[in-house]
Amino acid sequence: MANPLFITVCLSLGTYLICGIPFGLIITSLMTHTDIRSMGSGNIGSTNVGRSVGKTAAALTLIADTCKAFVCSVLTREVVVATLAAGQRSATMPDGAWGWIGGIVVAMAIIGHVFSPYLHFTGGKGIAAGFGAIIGYAPLVACGLLIVFLGLVCTTKLVSAGSVAAAISMPVWIVVLYQATPQVLVSIVLASCIVVWAHRSNICKLLQGEEKRFSFHASNGEK
Show me where the domains of the chain are located.
4-208
Phi, psi dihedrals of residue 116, rounded to the nearest 5°: -65, 130
Q: Is there a contact between 55 and 76 (Cβ–Cβ < 8 Å)? A: no
For the full predicted model, state whether its pTM sits above 0.85: yes
List average pLDDT for each run of 10 residues in the chain, which is 223 residues long: 91 98 95 91 89 91 97 97 93 96 98 97 95 97 96 91 96 96 96 96 91 65 42
Q: Where are the alpha helices (DSSP H) in 33-180?
A: 46-52, 55-83, 99-114, 127-137, 139-156, 159-178
